[in-house]
Structure 1
Amino acid sequence: MRFSYRPTHLTPQHRRRSLATNLRWLAAAATLLAVAGGGWLAFGYKPLWNPEQSAQINAARDSACQRSVTLRLGDNSFLAKPDQVCSWLHPVPQPTKQLSPQPLPSPQFDVNAITQWVHSCTSQVEKPAKNGSRQVDSKGHLVSLLKDPVDGAVVNHPNNLVSQIEKALNSSNGNVEVAAKLSPRKGGFDDTVVAAPAMPYAPQPQERWVDVNLTNHTTAVYDGTKAIYGPVAAVDGHAQAPTVQGIYKVYAKLDMQTMTGVGYDGPYSEKAPWISYFSGNFALHGAPWRSSFVYTPEKGSHGCVNLSVTDAKAIYDLISIGTTVVSHT
């Protein structure tokens, strides 16, 4: 008969060795499990979409890449073609869970890429305003208009355009089209203060009269020595058709007339509003065909005093038959 001796009491040293041995065996078993196909337990493992899921995701992205975006800014139109729109897609996110099923990600567009494109479009149509220049007296009254201001343009609410495009791309199908209006940026004036011109006429107290300054190319209405309208910019006669000089009286007023004749530049026919005749065929009147009232010798009138329609109407309403008109250099 054989007897097997199994000690029931181990020294503390033996017990420590047995524990260490067991831990080493457990570590080895875990390694074998990972190598044999239990890789989902390994440290640093990232879950991936399986081939079928990847195919579905790519099909949705391919469909999103067939779309275009049209941006209309005022009268200007910009087109982002499908290949450009496709470049705005976010990368495909990987699954966040290892074993549990989860919905497939739909194509999502990068708002920063959309913003960059929208801003590149708006920068092509937005323009800064440019100031004009003029001479004024110490009270701020116009002495001479030297250069017109040039209005600029700004796109209304460009960030709203980004939001509209992003929402449409992420939540609907088909091509996208958005639009915005342009608002003007008004130009101002750079003023130079100069001495006020000398009074060309000695009026009676409270006498209403019209000053036509052919040096500074302005027109104003006075009561006595007080200006009640203007001075405003005016275009008087060309060197070959100068405006008459002297003291005259308004003898006729017409709210509209087609003025015809043969001038220094040939025959003309101009439909003019708010006409106040003061000497022969010379008159104060509106000139709607003019976009600028900065006087240049080569663009002078056929002899009349051309005013903006607004100024011509104001002066027409302030004067009457018999009002004095002083035309001078």
Structure 2
Amino acid sequence: MTDGAPGTDGATYAWAPTEPAKRKNRSGLWIGIPAGATAVALIAASLVLIAPGASVAGVQIGGLTAGAAAQAISSRLADTTITVDSPAGAVTVTGAELGATVDAAALADKAFSDNPMWKPAAWFPEGTGVSVQIDAAEAAAALSAKAPGAYRAPVDATLAYDAGSQAYVTTPAQPGEGIDTAAVTAALQSAFDAGTPATTVEATLVPVDAAVSTEEADAAVASLNGILDSAGFYIGDERTVPVDRATAASWLTVTPDGKGDFAISADESAIAAAVQGLPAAVNRAAVNADVIVDTGGEVIKTLTEGQTGRTLGDTGSVAAAFAKQLADGNGRYALDVAETAFDTTKTERRIDVNLSAQTTTLWQNGQVYRSYTISSGAGDHATHTGEFRIGWKTEMQDMGCVPGYDYCTKDVPWVAYFNGDEGFHGTYWHNNFGTPMSHGCINMTIPQAKELYDWAYRGTEVSVHY
């Protein structure tokens, strides 16, 4: 019944309000939230922190992230102080001034990988050592700035083009002198390993090498002189258009970087001027070859060398391409040409000696070129038959005139031997041609012998028969 509603007896009744529902007690939940959140945070932190007790070269990095650990390692190294006692007095430098470095990021990452906080078994590991590196140039600069009396600067090797010798030459490096950076490095390493922020070391004066050594300059000189030795425009292996050494050197600029490298560059505009003259030097018509051959077609004498014709291709990109090649140390530029083949004219020559007819006939390309009446060897000195070739030739010679010969004929002209001491030659002591008269040679008139001498090259076939 609704509150204040009339009853069946006419009276009005009032109901007591409904007892409110009992509220749940959540105080325990609110009390537990901070503790739970802390636990979650600790668990999350353990996933990114390095285990307690971890150290690198005396630097405690336990409980740090890898990034914070790397910073701590680098800071400790940079702040480590070395007091150097040298013949020039005591100087104090820091790791930062010496250009000291370690791969702190890699070390920290490895420390976390090997010893994460979430892995209790990895807590309190043994410390990790590390190799300290020093920038030699920074160290030398720092030490020399603080103790200038202890230093004599080294002199770098240099190179230059020498016009007199038309070659690049080296001026050798000269060593300097300074505080022994190796001793300083060892002291810094020892202090860093021990976790000591400062240490003292005695260091002597030692030679200081130049930044650019003689050997480095010599290597660059060898490369440059190699360019000068070969500079030119090539067709195949032929240096068709040489570039003289002085001109090639004038194209080149050598820029040292102060660390031993010598960069080469080339003047493209100067090369372009040379390229303009290439067509006149390269283009040519073909030249046909002219050769003498035997009956088998083998060449026994080349009268005119054959030469291919050639036409230079487009030269628009040659200067730029050659400049790049020179910068890379290559002085041989290969030209693009179109070639025209040459023809070869072959002339076949042979000599026929007929002892029965006492004739010598010169045959050329299957046709009689000349025929002469001769005198061959007589009696016991008959000329030998067979197939021979012209060998040694001489314009004049004494024949016989030595022990073992029963004759001596002076100044025999136009001699062309074909079989040992048997040969063709001119004759001035008789005119009885057509009759065997000699000691084995083929006697001819002097003009005929001269003609044969000039016509028959070494290797010409000689057939002697009856």
Task: Output the TM-score relative to the length of structure 2.
Answer: 0.25
Higher relative contact order (CA 8 A, sep 6+): 1
Task: Output the TM-score relative to the length of structure 1.
Answer: 0.35
**Is the radius of gyration larger for structure 1 or structure 2?**
2
